[in-house]
Amino acid sequence: MTGVRTGLDRIADGDAEAVRLVAGRHVGLLAHAASVDRSLRSAASVLRQAGARVSALFGPEHGFAGAAQDMVGVGTHDATEVPVYSLYGDDAEDLSPKPEWLRGLDAIVIDLQDVGSRYYTYVWTAALTMKVAAAVGIDVVILDRPNPLGGARVEGAPQRQGYLSFVGLYPIAVRHGLTIAELMCWVCDREHIDRDVLQVVSMDGWTRSMEWKDTGLPWVMPSPNMPTLDTALVYPGGCLVEGTKLSEGRGTTRPFELWGAPGLDIGPLLELDLHGVTLRPVELTPTFQKHAGRGCSGVQVHVTDPWVFRPYETYLRMLAAVLPTMPAEQRWRTEVYEFVSDRPAIDLLTGGPEFRSAVDQGASLDDVLASEARGAAKFDDERRAAWLYEK
């Protein structure tokens, strides 16, 4: 078989080393809609076929079925033969499993498709679940999956002190270049959790420079607004638009690639010297969320060279070009964002107030971008201690 075998694929293929971690054990499964093997069988089905007793299901943001929109609380229910526990509710206390939910389990199996950006909350749900499991003394079996952005490059500095949140519970680069299992190893080291708590079913055939198309794996959208690989490629930058009053394209068929606002002057965007990407002027009408039902002027971001394209820097430059043309009160999102009310959303996403301040003061981005590059380079060195794949 060519291509990559995920941790789940190894169990599906009867790999003895992988199967022994689940066979005959009472397990809870933290998973979502993209938790499938290369034949598109669900993780729960694969685990049961391997002899695991799936006794509880846990769903991250968007729910176990992946149907809820962003920042929508999901309830716990018993719609299947086993309980389905939500790890994303109406407040921050709902983000971790209750210890009693783990009672009677031998292990928690985590199979989540990440997209390689610190804003994507699934990795933080995995980290919080791992901490609770370690505290109550049960194993964590993590089935590793590819980082769709690869593992070779890092972009964007870790968050500054005081700006950690559920879009970044730990200080890591925006584009972190780690697999979910590697990131959990990194969290173990930060939290002084013995790595033996983690039983990693690593991938076969994945290398750090590999593009998704080379993995041979199907793309299954891991959340409602991550429909394609193109979405994942722009997301480390595209998610920044969430921190503004511009539409990030939710309510369209190309979220994060499409963005804009009613009456937006896109002229400054078309004058930018960007690399690995082409901007196409568009008109969009979001069907829900920001500017729902209103015609918006904007652009679609077409990635022409993924190896040259730097999504975080590109979107910082684009936002800095258009936001100063708008009244100050129309720039930044002010609502509660991922359970945080005392920091603007854009500050949580960028990891500090520097970008917002530069935009509002009409200052050059040079100092901001230089600081981001220095922070990314430092993290690039630090992350290697968590690598499970060297090439």
Q: Domain map of the chain by residue range?
A: 7-220+380-386, 229-352
pLDDT more than 70, % of the chain: 96
Q: 7-220+380-386: which CATH topology?
A: Rossmann fold (3.40.50)
Which residues, including other chains, have CB under 8 Å from residue 218's CB and lie 6 or more apart?
36, 38, 40
- Least Cα distance to 296 among 258, 249, 261 occurs for 261
DSSP string, 109-168: EEE----SBTT-THHHHHHHHHHHHHHHT-EEEEE----TT-SS--BSPPPPTT--BTTB
Q: 229-352: which CATH topology?
A: Aspartate Aminotransferase, domain 1 (3.90.1150)
Per-residue pLDDT tens over the stretch 120-167: 999 999 999 999 999 999 999 999 999 999 999 999 999 999 999 999
Q: How far apart are CA 86 and CA 73, in angstroms?
A: 9
Half-sphere exposure of 137 (CA within 13 A, CB side): 2
- Least Cα distance to 163 among 357, 346, 347 occurs for 347
Per-residue pLDDT tens over the stretch 293-336: 999 999 999 999 999 999 999 999 999 999 999 999 999 999 99
Q: In Å, how far are 233, 253, 264, 324, 328 from 301, measured between CA atoms? A: 10, 13, 16, 20, 25
The reported pLDDT for the residue numbered 74 is: 46
Tell me which residue has tokens 């599906």.
12
- Helix/strand/coil for 354: helix
- Least Cα distance to 152 among 118, 122, 125, 116 occurs for 116
Q: Is pLDDT larger for residue 1 or for residue 388?
A: 388
Read off the pLDDT of each residue in 279-289 and give the average, rounded to a whole number: 97
Q: Is the dihedral of CA 293, 295, 298, 302 positive or negative?
A: positive
The reported pLDDT for the residue numbered 391 is: 78
Read off the pLDDT of each residue in 363-377 and give the average, rounded to a whole number: 97
What is the C-alpha end-to-end distance of the chain, expressed in Å?
20
Rounded to two decimals, the pTM is 0.94
| Pairing, β 277-284 against β 296-303 | antiparallel
Q: How far apart are CA 250 and CA 285, in angstroms?
A: 10
Contact 218, 160 (CB under 8 A): no
**Model confidence band, residue 71 (pLDDT cutoffs 50, 70, 90):** very low
Contact 169, 178 (CB under 8 A): no
Per-residue pLDDT tens over the stretch 300-312: 999 999 999 999 9
